[in-house]
Amino acid sequence: MNEDLGTVKIYRYNPAVDVEPRFDVFEDVPYVGRTVMDVLRDLYERRDTSLAFRCSCRAGLCTACRMRINGRAAMACMRLAERDMVIEPPSTGAIIKDLMTTLSGSSTDEGTA
Tell me which of 5, 28, 45, 60 binds ligand FES, using CB under 6 A. 60
Nearer to ligand FES, 60 or 105 (CB): 60
Examine residue 64 and tell whether it contacts ligand FES (CB under 6 A).
yes
Examine residue 63 and tell whether it contacts ligand FES (CB under 6 A).
yes
Secondary structure of the chain in HEC code, one letter for each residue: CCCCEEEEEEEECCCCCCCCCEEEEEEEEECCCCEHHHHHHHHHHHCCCCCCCCCCCCCCCCCCCEEEECCEEEECCCCECCCEEEEECCCCCCEEECCEECCCCCCCCCCCC
Tell me which of 10, 52, 69, 75 binds ligand FES, using CB under 6 A. 75
Examine residue 80 and tell whether it contacts ligand FES (CB under 6 A).
no
Q: By CB under 6 A, name the binding residues for ligand FES.
A: 55-58, 60-65, 75, 77
